[in-house]
Structure 1
Amino acid sequence: MFLRKTLTLAACWLAISSPVWAAPAHTYDFGQPASASQASRSVEIVMEDMTFEPKTLELKAGETVRFVLVNKGQLLHEFNLGDAAMHAGHQQEMLQMQQSGMLTPTGMKEMSHGMAGMDHAAMGHGMKHDDPNSVLVEPGKRAELTWTFSKATNLEFACNIPGHYQAGMVGKLTVSQ
């Protein structure tokens, strides 16, 4: 009994006295977010239910692009920059958000009972949609994402809401020298 109390007290002391570790900042080898004022051009992307228009984009390394996203569909959609592996991982996070009730077919819910803003280390970035390479757009709404592409690469822009990518809501993005 004494040993258990001593270990419990020691664990509590360590928890209180240890520094708070911040989640690592997201870094992307293909670029970084930028302000809209840095953009050399704007590209409008229309989101309908399970499609993007245009379906392909060609950009130059070093270019900063302001993506103007218009959701003309009836469902919530996402615009996410990355490669296929990144999208597969993000789809699992989005599925967890949907299963928790936070993600609905037409929007995001504010979670009560301690869920709002709660970081889930197992999800990698918390149960919130805050990745700098991604934006959610509700039906009938517009949003923007501005990105500087650092190197030549082949990427995808995709909607990772459960089932949308699999239904074809993905486009090709080629960044050349």
Structure 2
Amino acid sequence: MNTNPTNRRHFQLSLLALPWALSAPVAQAHGDTHGKAAAPVVKEQKPWGIAGDAKAVKRTVDIRMTDDMKLSPNHLDVRQGETLRLRALNQGKVMHEIVLGTGADLQAHADMMKKHPGMEHDEPYMAHVPPGQRGDIVWTFNRAGDFEFACLIAGHFEAGMRGTIRVKP
């Protein structure tokens, strides 16, 4: 082992800096991302489809969200294979969101949101929209069937803030 005091001091300083160096990327990942490029979308097949490519969007559907717990429109007809941009427009004074899924998945998620109301998540089939703002979901509906969309913020889902999607083959 090298007993040179200068080398030992550098080694000790390196050890002291190690926790800071290891935590720096983690702290940045949870920081403010305004003005920065979004992380690449993970394309995971779900029963109701898969994250879409914005270049493939042929149709944008505006979904208005209001504080009377309504989504308008509350029904969408989609062709299997179609990629849509669902643009959630929060016209209310409270936070709203839109989450795509099966009825059972949305019910389970709504129950979890009641237990953990501050829970944050970021999936390509979700858009969290502050009052007066908008959020987009780009989704490819590559599976035929009947699906749903809803606001899962505690109490909103139970108040009827939900809609249906029919994907036709």
Task: Return the TM-score normalized by structure 2.
Answer: 0.70
CA root-mean-square deviation:
1.5
Structure 1 stretches of at least 4 aligned residues deviating more than 3 Å after TM superposition:
none
Pick the structure with greater CA Rg.
Answer: 2
Alignment gaps of 5+ in structure 2: 1-42
**Residues 1:30 and 2:48 aligned together:** yes
- Does residue 141 (structure 1) correspond to residue 133 (structure 2)? The answer is yes
Shift of 1:130: 1.4
Q: How many residues align?
A: 126
Q: Which has the higher contact order (CA 8 A, sep 6+)?
A: 1
Mark the runs of 5 or more structure 1 residues left unpaired by the alignment. Answer: 1-24, 104-126
Give how far 1:30 is off: 2.1
For 2:128 and 2:162, the matched residues in 1 are separated by: 15
**In the TM superposition, what are the counterparts of 1:54-69 in structure 2 within 5 Å?**
54-69=73-88
| Letter aligned with residue 130 of structure 1 | D
TM-score (norm 1): 0.67
Deviation at 1:89, TM superposition (A): 1.6
1 CA distance for matches of 2:112 and 2:136? 22
Asked if residue 159 in structure 1 is aligned to residue 147 in structure 2, the reply is no
Shift of 1:93: 3.0
Correspondence 1:42 to 2:60: yes
CA deviations 1:88-147 (Å, max 9, x no partner) are 12113322431xxxx3xxxxxxxxxxxxxxxxxxxxxxx531122111111110110000
Distance 2:111 2:44 in 1: 17
Spell out the pairing of 1:1-177 with structure 2 (5 A cutoff): 26-49=44-67, 50-98=69-117, 103=118, 128-177=120-169
